[in-house]
Each structure stands twice: as C-alpha cells, then as structure tokens.
Amino acid sequence: MSYFRQTLLWTAGIYTLCACSLMHAQVAQPRLNPLSPIGAKRGETVEITLTGAQMGQTIGLLFEGAGITVESISIPKAPPNTAIAKVNIAPDALPGVRAVRALTKFGASDRQLFCIGAYNEIAEKEPNNTRDKAQEIATLPVAINGKSDGGEDVDWYKFKGRKGQTYILEVMAARLESPFDSVLAIQDAQGHELAMNDDYLGADSFLAFTPKADGDYYIQLHDLRYQGGANFLYRLTVGAIPRVTSIFPIGGQAGHGVNLEKRGYNLGGATSQPITLPNDTTLSQTKVGALQADGSLIAFPFGVSDLFERNEIEPNDSLSHPDTLPIPCVMNGRIASAPNSKTPDTDYFRFKGEKGKRLGFEVVAHQLGSRLESQLYVRNLQGNILAQSDDNSRNADQRIEFTPPDNGDYILQIRDLYGKGGDEYPYRLYATETTPDFRLTFSQDRLVIGQGNRAPLQVTANRLNGYNGEIALDLQGLPAGVVSLTPPTIPAGRNEVFLVLAADAGAQVKGQPFRLIGRATINKRKVAHEAQALETTQRENNLSTLPRELATASVTEPLDISIALSMEKITLAPGESKEIVVKVTRRAGFNPKVPISVLGVPGGVTVAVTPAEVPEKQTEVKIVIKAEGNAPLGEFSFVVAGRSLNEDVRPYHYAAPPLLVTIAKK
C-alpha cells in the first residue's frame, strides 16, 4: 500500500474569464513559458511578464496557495503573445515554490513555477561575464534573478565579506524546473578558490562560507555544460542569513501537534518549533513553514498520515540493540552516524510477525526533500536476510512486502544505498498490514469545456491488496453549470472510468481549481483519497506523464467543434453489431481532420471506427459496435471523443454524450 501521492494544503484563488469572440483559425491551447522574474519578495508588488501561446489573451493569473493577489493584467501592443501581471504578495505569504497558471478566454495554461522569497530582489546585469566585470552586490541579503546565456557564459558577482560571519549562497534553478545545472564557487580578492559546489539540493548548488578576513569576495556561477538560453533561469540568494537546511521529523499524524527540530546555519538558538497539522486524512503531503531567526520562513514538504506515529529511539544501530516497531505505525527516523563515528549509520527495528499475515514496509524520504536513498532488509533474529528492497537508485524511496513464515519477532533494517548520512537524511517508515486500498489519478490537469459542450475526464484507480469494490468520485470546485453526465463512480471490478463533463450553454466563462476525492467503504472502514492530476507532455518525440499541482477546470466560449451521436442508447444481443454515426459540428472556418477515439469499452465488446478520423472539411464518420458471443449481459456506457489537432498545437478534447449500451439476449 502506498501513502505518498502528493497533495498541497493550500487554497487557490479564482478568477473570472471575460467572454470574447473567437477567431476563425484553430484555437491553440494556452502555453505559458517560464515567468520573468521567476520569483519575488513577500510583502511587495511585482510586475510579472507572461509569454507563450495565447498569453496575449490573458485575463487572469492563478497561484497555488494563499497570500498572492493579482491587481491587474495588461496586454502590451508589442511583443505579441505577451501579458504583464501586477501581483501583490502579502507580507505573511509562505515563502517557497508555488504553482501558477495563466487564465485566458481559451482556458488555463500549463503549469509553471514561481518562488516567493524573504529578501530584497535584484536582477542580473550584463556584462558580468568576467571577474573584472563582476556585478557588485551593494546590500546583503539579496536574491538575484539571473540567466545563463550559453556560449560558455559565466556570471560573476562581488560582495564585501566580514571575518567570522557565515554567508549563505544558494542557487534555485532545478527546483524551479529550469534546465540550468549550476556550478557555484567563491574566490578571494587574489583569485584563490575558497569553496565550490555542484550538486547539493538536487542539481542546485549551496555553500555556507565563513571568511577568515574582511575583504572583497567573488562569486562565480555557470551551467555545468556551459549551456544557456531564455529558459536557463536561476535565483541566487546571498547573505549572512539564517538557513534551516533540515527539519525533523518530516511528517506527522493528521490533526496532531508536532515539534520540529531544526538544523542549519545562523539559527541563533531557534532550533525547535511546535506546529499543528490539519485534520484532513485525504492528505498524504502538505507544506510547513520553518521559522528562522530573522522572522523569515522557509517551506518544507511534510508528510501526513492517519496512523499512529512516533520517532525512533537511539541507539538502534545494531542488530542486538534494535528499536521497537509497532504495526501499524509511521516511524520517523534519521540516518545519522554518532559523533566521531566512521561507520555509516543503519537503523534496526524489531517487530512482531504473524505467520501468513502479509506486511508492507515503505520509506518516504526522497520525495519529502531528504537526501536518503534507502535500502530495506527484513532479517531474522540471527541476522539472516529474509526479504530486501531492490537497489534501484532511480527510485530512491523503497518498499518491500514480507509474509512471516512463523509467529515471532523479526528485524527491519534501513540504511542509505551509498552509506551516507547526516541531518539531511531523515525518513518516514510506514509499517502496515497490507490491507485492501486504492489510489486515484486523473488525466487533464487543465480541463476545458466550451459553453454547451462536453469534455472527457479519465479517472484511473490503482487497486491495492485485493480491493475490488466500488469507488465513489467526489468532484469539488467545478465551475457553476458544469455537471457529470456519467455517474461519478468507478464500478466494482473496473480500474478506470471516463467521465463526460458538460457545461450549460449559459454557463459563465471562468476558470478555477478543482479537486477529485475518491471514497469507499473497505472492511467497514471509510476511506478517502485525493486523486493526483496528471499531464502528458511531449518533448523531443518523447511522451512523459507527470503529476501536476493546481488542476483547473475552465468554461470557455464555444471552441472548434462539438460531437454528437446519431443515437445515445442501443441494445445488442451477443454476436450482434450495430452502426451509429458520429457527427461533428465545426465552428465556421475550422476545417482540419478530427481524430476520433472510443474510450472505456468493456471486455466482450469491440468498436471499429471507419475511418479513424473525420476527414478534413467533413462532418461524419461511422462506428460499428459489436457484442462478441461471450459479451457479459448488462448495461454499460462508453465515450466517443475527438480532438482538434494540428502538429504545432496541443489539442482540445471533446466528447459526445455517453453512449448507453445494453447487452441482452433476444
């Protein structure tokens, strides 16, 4: 069983889209490039430049989380496909990375990221490509928004350092999904390199530097491969500032209090902080703000569970001195060797097993910002290995399942794959019986429905440990006038359903965030999980599906096409076929071919689309539905969908009303 799909404990603002007439050319989905700047200080108002497809039609900006207000949107005369958003960031807005989408009259854009900081902001000023032209930083602390131009571009900065004061130099780029792979170094006035870092926080660089003398110091920053371009953006924070680099524990039980232990630099004795987690058991992850000595906050991902939790008790670093692991529970631990120890830390836990009762052990660490790449072993009391996780560094968080061969005590061991450890190697160890459960995902992280039209939404269930029952789907936050024409349920025995969501012809044109919660009763226990939104993207002929925050649903004016069927219900006997017509209504001026898909067809039924697309300028295609001789009797529905697609634009998806099919003997 897996507890670890991310959800974000933040509310998102809602902005209404203006109603504007569409052009006759094909409508391209909005696409947002990285923002400029990619970050700003809380408590200030900043102008953000938006570029990308349809950005000249922007009328709103949607941020993840509280504390950000869009004051205005303006569209400059040039360059095209550009908008300027004036954004106010509240003084108490939680610093950290936020998802953001542009809202246009054609729906929401794809997701980009924006960083809220706690210190003054400046922009990189060229030329600063050589040491003698280093950009001078007059006042610290500061966050610098810069860019690698490629062609062996190296950015130089100069600041005055004081003896004995610890300065933090931190690059944020990979964490903002920039391709900039930083290499960070610091030199003294004579050009001697004093410190250098490549990868610390993922591909992002970090240095804590303490000068041995007052004087001028030089920062050298470049891409590892000396690449660059418009999207090779970075944020460099410099200053004698507090920096919490790790917290412990990295999670807690929903609705309960947790005392954070903080480690880092310049903390001024502020090493603990009580917090209370929300009482929301649908969450598996949230974000918490660690308070620093200067009153600033830094956001950390934080795990949430509905299980009993406790922290490991040291020493538990040998087979003969294990800690006790109750089941079920979440154990919060850290791989950190004892002071002056040259032996890598490994944690041992003793648990009771019942013969034949399958247990699951799962580590959550890497996805919560820990540097741990875990290994798990189950041993008997003599130390013999009975089960172990795969040493697969592509999945740093590991899981194993174990069925005890006899009643008795066993040992669980956890260690780092590379024998490393420290404050930044915390983990959460989930120990449970492998009870029936499920997890959900849905396609279309940005759902778009034209007025009077329909769109498909694919919801997929990952059924765990034998759960095969019905899952009710609770769609929260859909715009007014949007309803599901398909029963919002994944039936027992099914792993997916294709919902058809319809917008009234008079629905207000607007966009807003929405959530999907799956609910079921399993062994008399009510279970609820939030579904993860997914986005499928194509880069260099490779398709990838990635989780996305801030899923949105938008109602627009009518778009390119609408789809209908010549009939909306049919009855078939086993072995019988029927033909229906798919009818496409085109907006004036929209003539390209329309690929047709048939979604959610159950076993025992086949559907042939001839041809597989509505040809250019035409409006109909036929499909043949056949019930095979072994088709199960009963009722079901499936979805006929189409998409508007040119090679250079992303498609909109459209659906006909669900087709109800009854299989019955004559």
Q: Which pLDDT tens digit goes with each residue over 109-147?
A: 999 999 999 999 999 999 999 999 999 999 999 999 999
**Is a pLDDT exceeding 60 seen at residue 14?**
no
Mean pLDDT, residues 247-261 taken together: 95
Domains of the chain and CATH, by start: 120-239 (2.60.120.380), 245-305 (no CATH), 309-433 (2.60.120.380), 438-556 (2.60.40.10), 561-663 (2.60.40.740)
Q: What pLDDT sits at residue 16?
A: 42
Q: Find the mean pLDDT for residues 8-34.
A: 55
Q: Residue 530 has which token pair?
A: 């939030």
Q: Which residues contact 107 (CB under 8 A, 6 or more apart)?
A: 29, 30, 446, 448, 511, 552, 554, 556, 652
Q: What is the pLDDT of residues 577-624, one digit of tens each?
A: 999 999 999 998 888 899 999 999 888 899 988 788 899 999 999 999
Q: How confident is the model over 5-16, as a mean pLDDT?
A: 35
Which residues are paired to 156 by β-bridges? 220
- Nearest Cα residue to 147 out of 128, 119, 120, 170: 128
pLDDT band at 396 (very low <50, low <70, confident <90, very high): confident
**What pLDDT score does 9 carry?**
32
Q: Taking a C-beta distance cutoff of 8 angstroms, is the pair 17, 105 a contact?
A: yes
Q: What is the mean pLDDT of residues 10-34?
A: 57
What would the pLDDT profile of 523-558 be if each residue is shown by its tens digit? 998 999 999 999 877 655 566 788 899 999 999 999
CA nearest neighbour of 471 among 498, 447, 496: 496
The mean pLDDT value for 91-104 works out to 93
Predicted confidence (pLDDT) at residue 269 exceeds the cutoff of 90: no
How confident is the prediction for the chain on average, in pLDDT?
90
Q: Are 468 and 440 in contact (CB under 8 A)?
A: no
* Percentage of the chain lying above the pLDDT 90 cut: 75
In angstroms, the first-to-last Cα distance of the chain is 45
Paired tokens of 223? 């891409």
SS3 223: strand
In angstroms, how far is CA 171 from the centroid of its own chain?
21
Q: How many helices (H) and strands (E) does the chain have?
A: 0, 58
Structure tokens belonging to residue 483: 């309803």
pLDDT of 33 reads 94
Q: What is the pLDDT of residue 7?
A: 32
pLDDT above 90: residue 197: yes
What integer pLDDT is reported at residue 343 of this predicted model?
73
How many Cβ atoms are within 10 Å of 407's Cβ, its own excluded?
11
Find the helix or strand (DSSP H, E) in which 86 lies. strand 82-89
634 class by beta-carbon count within 10 Å (0-12 exposed, 13-18 middle, 19+ buried):
exposed
Query: Residue 396, Cβ neighbours under 10 Å: how many?
Result: 17
**For residue 455, how far is the Cα from the chain centroid?**
23
396 vs 547 pLDDT, higher one: 547
Give whole-number Cα distances, 211 to 137, 160, 331, in Å: 17, 10, 40
Looking only at the bridges linking them, the beta strands covering 251-253 and 215-223 are unpaired
CA dihedral of 14, 17, 18, 22, whole degrees rounded to 10: 180
* DSSP code of residue 204: B
Token duo for residue 404: 């005890």
**DSSP assignment of 447-492, as one string?**
EEEETT-EEEEEEEEEEETT--S-EEEEEESPPTTEEESS-SEE-T
Q: What is the pTM of this model?
A: 0.85
Rounded to an integer, the average pLDDT of 648-663 is 86
Q: What is the pLDDT of residue 535?
A: 87
